[in-house]
Structure 1
Amino acid sequence: MPQIASETLANGLPLHRIHLDGTRATTILVAFDAGARTERPEENGMAHFLEHLVFKGGEKYDDYRKVNETAERMGGSLNAYTSHDLVAFHITVRAESAPDAIDLLTDFVGRPKLDQDELDRERGVVIQEIARYDDQPSAVAEHLIDRAAFGDHPLGRSVLGPAEHLRTFTRDAIVAFRERRWTGARGGAFIVGNTDHVAANGATAALFERFPTIGEPEPYEPAPAFVPQTLVERRDSNQSHLRMSYRPDIDVDDRAQRAAMTIYSTLLGGSMGSRLFDEIREQRGLCYSVYAMDHAYADVPVLQLSAGLDSSKCGEAYARMKEIVAELHADGPTEEEVQRARAYAAGRRVLAFENTNAVARYAANQAIVHGEDLDPDRAIEALDAVTFDEVAAIAKKVDPQTLSVACVGPHDADEF
């Protein structure tokens, strides 16, 4: 049973301690509602670029070598991520090193130098990162399906942004974005795992108060109505990368419906026993990779189907994948499918939560994106509690005829 204690610091930043028995590790994670969704059009790519820049040093650890070498001397795993939802920084260490890890993370993330010379150097690094992704057809397909599903809305833009934006970002603009979005009211700090070595006398809070006090940010732009598109990037290749995006008619504020959608996507394409894997891969041999995944943004759900396959088989696979969604809509799943998918999804969650970093990421998403409780046990209980009728209802809420499609390969849009 996790022991959870939460407080709000003087700078407005919520601090959550989640003590987990039976681990010798501690993860410290700080996150903000400052992902790609919160960027203005001309800022696209800035949230991710800022993530890179803070690693160049703060006040105490004032260059990238000190940041990296200090983490290594702790035996720590230090990293960060930017999504449409969040920007987050995290370090996982042995529990005895947690106080030093908090000192390190809050220094360079809470009070970064954002040095102009380092900015100019890192600009070229991120442009190379963008070029690398553009060379990967599967990554291009992910960008295309977001655009096909959300159009010009921020959720339809790439997290990395276009290279031409990176060339124009100034230090003043980046600082302004940080001062606008990295607010305690829309963020959180999380100490997860073995917290025995983390001081409870105010010293820990003082370190997290290195983050400046910033007022409430402007709200994110609501997700647009679903206007399905088909987008194809034609490439002369033998392999195609297919993506299909549906928008189930569910309430993302309803935790039970989100859990049922996870069970539905699992039986559809989330395991080797799923309908997509069994028929598209095993029975028909149409592809090596095929899967389904669900995601809930703050105000809109997404169900995505993906396949990587021989281009000559793309049309057949696409048609049959659509039919499988239609069959579930018309006839529903079987009791056995739901039982198996529920056990698999809950079991995967249990195994993931053996990792303190996974619990910290879950807690950040729960607190900042959904405004819900952080208890990882409740996440498992929510999956265990899903009923057959709830999953059958989700199947009915996926309109099989209304979907966006994206493909990279030797195809034209009218093939879909």
Structure 2
Amino acid sequence: MPHPRYRTPSLVKDGVFYYNFLNMTIKKRLSNGLEVFLIKTESKTVGISLVGNAGALYASSGLAHFLEHMVLCATKKYPDFISLANVVDNLGVYRNAYTNQETINFVFKCLPEHLSQAFEFLSEVSRNALFLETDIEKQKKIVTQEISKQNSDSNTFARLIALGNLYEQTGPGIPGLGREEDVKNISRDKLLEFYRATFVAENFKLVVSGNFDDDETVAIINSTLGEMSAGQIIPVLAPPIISKVSTHVVQKRSGISQAVLSMVWSGYKSDDELRYAAYLFKVLLADGRLSRLWQSLRQKNALVYSTSCFLVRQKSFGYFSITTGLAVENVDRAIVEIKTEIKKLAEELIGDDDFARIRNMVKTSLVFESDSAFDLANYSSSKILLERDFNGLDGELRKYENVTKEDIRRVALRFANENIHIAVITP
């Protein structure tokens, strides 16, 4: 049954299809090619996500992330930062934007009565950004500070080193923020070229979730984002270069009091048949106090305080990473313990209790992640863009329910035999 909080209207009007959340199928799109999804809920707020194929891998180092900064600086109608920000910020609207390796996402959380202002803002930044030279020079200084902040985080720094070695310093192996020297060389011409090529209606998806008036919202979307330039969707990227050998790097760093260990494996793409099994494997191995790594690294051997784990699934690539802080003398032992736990999962099927637990954890986390209008819009938009067969929360739950113990063992077997890229940062 669909989640009880989500109503499921099914009419089509003005190029927008109101879909059943249990069976999300696009029926129509706006005349300019923008695909729009409206999810009605009982929330008192509205969540908006405009997501597109304009991430870091589609441009030279740092350009996509820098463009995200620039479109929020000034537009033709609002020619400076303050006037543009005032469109929504003085109403208390929450907004943010982020760029990853493949996508850019603009997200909003607002009251229903502020929808017109939110879409006015989105329409301006997606169509009429100015890219003023003064703003470009200012943002170069700001972004270099952002890069420095990222590099100051030893956990992130170690993971980026391991990722760089996995992808041989190309593609996903280059940080999404870019390298400082590349950011300093970004020009207005490069920004405009990338903006015009990627910020076209066919290349984006729009999700609106919450409690809003149907007809009014459709009219607002058509009068704002309906004016977005038409164009062609950006083709799926070619698979990146992947190192054929394992790597193990140790790097000293001043100003830290413990070592950081990061281990990275090549993983599963967003369309891989085992992607749901891979997520359940990740939960079993590293999520929560009953996970294999919590029990082994912390409870049994007291080697670490906590461990973070990422399973990244994009259209052109995927990876799996484990990162933890620990005493230098514990590093080698921790590596052995992590490999051992993965090997155990590769050699035998998990028990019924573990299988039930991780499926319950995933079901609960899905509902948590989609419990607010904002989270539901953000979650759904990325899924829609990355996965052609995404059909809502209920469809996701069914796919996890269809994963078998043998599927999880197959994932573990892959990671047990895959090349590992290890980075260790020491004091």
TM-score (structure 2 length as normaliser): 0.88
Matches within 5 A, 1:123-134: 123-134=140-151
1:219 to partner: Cα distance:
4.2
Gaps of 5+ in 2: 9-17, 20-25
2:364 is the counterpart of 1:344: no
Determine the C-alpha separation between the residues in 1 that align with 2:423 and 2:381. Answer: 30
Matches within 5 A, 1:395-410: 395-400=412-417, 402-410=419-427
Report if aligned partners of 1:335, 1:388 keep a CA contact under 8 Å in 2.
no
Q: What secondary structure sits across from 2:216 in the alignment?
A: coil
1:245 matched residue in structure 2: 264
Gaps of 5+ in 1: 411-416
- Over 3 Å counting, the alpha-carbon distance change for 1:331 and 1:99 in structure 2 is same
- Over 3 Å counting, the alpha-carbon distance change for 1:14 and 1:275 in structure 2 is same
2:248 matched residue in structure 1: 230
2:26 is the counterpart of 1:9: no
1:124 to partner: Cα distance:
0.6
- Over 3 Å counting, the alpha-carbon distance change for 1:270 and 1:207 in structure 2 is same
2:23 is the counterpart of 1:23: no
Determine the C-alpha separation between the residues in 1 that align with 2:151 and 2:271. Answer: 35
2:79 is the counterpart of 1:62: yes
1:48 to partner: Cα distance:
0.5
2:382 is the counterpart of 1:365: yes
1:216 to partner: Cα distance:
4.0
Partner amino acid for 2:138?
R
Please report the RMSD computed on the Cα atoms of aligned residues, expressed in angstroms: 2.2
Identical columns (%): 20
Q: Cα deviation per residue 1:57-106 (whole Å; 9 max; x = unaligned)?
A: 22333322123333233221110001012111111102222222112222
Determine the C-alpha separation between the residues in 1 that align with 2:387 and 2:243. Answer: 21
2:209 matched residue in structure 1: 192
Determine the C-alpha separation between the residues in 2 that align with 1:109 and 1:251. Answer: 28
- Over 3 Å counting, the alpha-carbon distance change for 1:188 and 1:388 in structure 2 is same
Determine the C-alpha separation between the residues in 1 that align with 2:79 and 2:69. Answer: 15
**Given the alignment, which residue of 91, 97, 102 partners 2:114?**
97
Q: What secondary structure sits across from 2:231 in the alignment?
A: coil
Q: Cα deviation per residue 1:337-390 (whole Å; 9 max; x = unaligned)?
A: 121111112111111111223222222222222223341232233224433333
2:13 matched residue in structure 1: none
Q: What secondary structure sits across from 1:399 in the alignment?
A: helix
Q: Cα deviation per residue 1:196-220 (whole Å; 9 max; x = unaligned)?
A: 2662554422311332223343542
Matches within 5 A, 1:106-185: 106-185=123-202
Q: What secondary structure sits across from 1:241 in the alignment?
A: strand
Report if aligned partners of 1:59, 1:108 keep a CA contact under 8 Å in 2.
no
Determine the C-alpha separation between the residues in 2 that align with 1:147 and 1:254. Answer: 23
Q: Cα deviation per residue 1:117-162 (whole Å; 9 max; x = unaligned)?
A: 1111111111111112222212211211221221133111100111
1:284 matched residue in structure 2: 301
Matches within 5 A, 1:237-386: 237-248=256-267, 252-254=270-272, 257-386=274-403
1:167 to partner: Cα distance:
1.1
Partner amino acid for 2:37?
H
Report if aligned partners of 2:166, 2:242 keep a CA contact under 8 Å in 1.
no
Report if aligned partners of 2:305, 2:325 keep a CA contact under 8 Å in 1.
yes
TM-score (structure 1 length as normaliser): 0.90
1:114 to partner: Cα distance:
1.5
Q: Cα deviation per residue 1:272-312 (whole Å; 9 max; x = unaligned)?
A: 11000111012211111213332212143322112111222
Report if aligned partners of 2:155, 2:323 keep a CA contact under 8 Å in 1.
no
Determine the C-alpha separation between the residues in 1 that align with 2:213 and 2:226. Answer: 21
Determine the C-alpha separation between the residues in 2 that align with 1:294 and 1:88. Answer: 19
Determine the C-alpha separation between the residues in 2 that align with 1:254 and 1:184. Answer: 27
